[in-house]
């Protein structure tokens, strides 16, 4: 295959000025950019290294990739896995949307009203700095071995990051724009609609992206501690039974879901990007 190379750093230095022809960024044959080819190559190399390490028998906790893949095909189609996945998905599906809506509303309030910030700030700092795992047993005591426990934990994981990002977005509003609004006597409502919300949009969407990751993390961590339901519960049970290959298969699934959801949120972010922002 012909090496297509990277584009020139300086787009001005093209054929006319230097006599050099910048190399195409996209592979003509496959349509892939060099970046994606390198990423695919990295994954293949990682899998090969894993296979070698697994076959070398370093540890019984490190089976070769081929064994994991074989176990995976069985696990991923099994009823136990599907049920666990459904349970986790439902918990995230119930917990995430209200966390985002409430988080955005509280974040806006914090950004717009000083007293709201003063009141909520300590809780946010606490939630962001404290390992939330520590309070899961308390939530478990309140809600018992039920899905409600998982849902509450996800909300606690997601809410603070959405709030703090929305708040930062509101506070990042340009003081020049606010002054302009004041100079034309714009009402508070119009100022918020036309200036504050568009200003806060970028950071709020970034908060959403972090929130997706935290929803998955929070859900699975809670399930692991509760131990009886969802993907986290399955991980716990497989680990306890020393079903190493199956355990890896489930972990790979969790990783894949995480990566795919991040990519999806990035897409949404790009789609809602504002002109000039």
Partner 1 sequence: MIEVKSVSKVFRRNGVTLEALRDVTFEVGTGQFTSIIGPSGCGKTTLLKMMAGLIAPTSGAIEIEGEKVTGSGPDRALVFQHFVLLPWADVLTNAAFGLEARGVAKSKREQIARAQLEQVGLGGFEAHYPHELSGGMQQRVGIARALAVDPDTLLMDEPFGSLDAITRQVMQRDLLKLWQETAHKTTVFVTHSMDEAALLSDYVVIMDTRPGRVAQIIEVPFPRPRSETLTESSEYREFTARLSHQLEKMQRVDMERETTQEAEGSSDG
Q: Does 181 bind partner 1 (CB under 8 A)?
A: yes
* Sign of the C-alpha dihedral computed for residues 228, 233, 235 and 239 taken in this order: negative
CA angle 193, 195, 199 (to 5 degrees): 110
Shortest CB 103 distance to partner 1, Å? 22
Candidates 13, 86, 194, 267; binder of partner 1 (CB under 8 A) is 194
Which span sits near partner 1 by CB under 8 A: 7-15, 77-85, 182-190, 264-272? 182-190
270 binds partner 1 (CB under 8 A): no
Q: Residue 51's Cα: distance from chain center in Å?
A: 28
Q: Which stretch binds partner 1 (CB under 8 A): 34-42, 82-90, 125-133, 170-178?
A: 170-178
Instruction: State the nearest-atom distance from the C-beta of 184 to partner 1, in Å.
Output: 4
Say how many C-beta atoms besides its own lie within 10 A of residue 22's C-beta: 16
Q: Select from 182, 228, 256, 259 the one that contacts partner 1 (CB under 8 A).
A: 182
Q: Which stretch binds partner 1 (CB under 8 A): 34-42, 138-146, 183-191, 252-260?
A: 183-191
Cβ closest to partner 1, residue 40 vs residue 190? 190
- Residues 13 and 10: their CA atoms lie apart, in Å, by 6
**If binding is defined by CB under 8 A, does position 252 make contact with partner 1?**
no
Q: Which of 3, 77, 187, 263 binds partner 1 (CB under 8 A)?
A: 187
Residue 60 or 276: which CB sits closer to partner 1? 276
> What is the spatial distance between Cα 4 and Cα 147, in angstroms, rounded to a whole number?
52
179 binds partner 1, rule: CB under 8 A: yes
Strand ranges for 156-219 from DSSP E: none
How many Cα atoms sit within 13 Å of 231 on the Cβ side?
25
User: Over the range 164-193, which residues count as b (16 or more CB within 10 Å of their CB) and which as e?
Assistant: bbbbbbbbebeeeeeeebeeeebeeeebbe
d(CA 187, CA 241): 64
Residue 253 CB coordination number (10 Å): 17
Assess 189 for contact with partner 1 (CB under 8 A). no
Residues 116-135 that bind partner 1 (CB under 8 A): none
Shortest distance (Å) from residue 270 CB to partner 1: 15
Which residues would be at the binding site for partner 1 (CB under 8 A)? 174, 176-177, 179-187, 190, 194-195, 198, 274-277
């Amino acid at each position: 295959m012909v090496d297509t190379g990277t584009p020139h750093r300086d787009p001005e230095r093209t054929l006319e000025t230097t006599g050099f022809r910048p190399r195409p960024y996209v592979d003509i044959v496959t349509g892939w950019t060099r970046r994606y080819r390198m990423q695919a190559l990295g994954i293949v190399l990682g899998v090969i290294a894993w296979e070698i390490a697994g076959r070398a028998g370093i540890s019984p906790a490190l089976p070769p990739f081929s064994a994991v893949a074989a176990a995976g095909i069985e696990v991923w189609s099994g009823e136990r896995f599907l049920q666990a996945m459904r349970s986790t998905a439902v918990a995230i599906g119930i917990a995430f949307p209200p966390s985002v809506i409430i988080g955005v509303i509280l974040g806006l309030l914090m950004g717009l009203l000083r007293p709201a910030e003063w009141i909520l700030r300590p809780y946010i700092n606490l939630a962001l700095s404290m390992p939330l795992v520590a309070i899961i047993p308390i939530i478990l005591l309140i809600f018992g071995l039920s899905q409600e426990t998982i849902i509450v934990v996800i909300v606690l994981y997601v809410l603070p990051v959405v709030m703090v990002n929305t708040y930062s977005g509101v506070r990042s509003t340009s003081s020049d724009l606010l002054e302009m609004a004041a100079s034309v006597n714009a009402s508070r409502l119009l100022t918020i609609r036309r200036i504050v919300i568009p200003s806060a949009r970028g950071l709020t969407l970034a908060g959403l992206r972090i929130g997706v990751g935290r929803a998955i993390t929070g859900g699975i961590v809670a399930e692991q501690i509760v131990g009886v339901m969802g993907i986290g519960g399955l991980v716990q049970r497989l680990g306890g039974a020393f079903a190493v290959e199956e355990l890896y298969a489930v972990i790979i699934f969790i990783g894949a879901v995480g990566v795919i959801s991040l990519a999806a949120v990035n897409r949404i972010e790009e789609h809602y990007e504002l002109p000039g922002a």
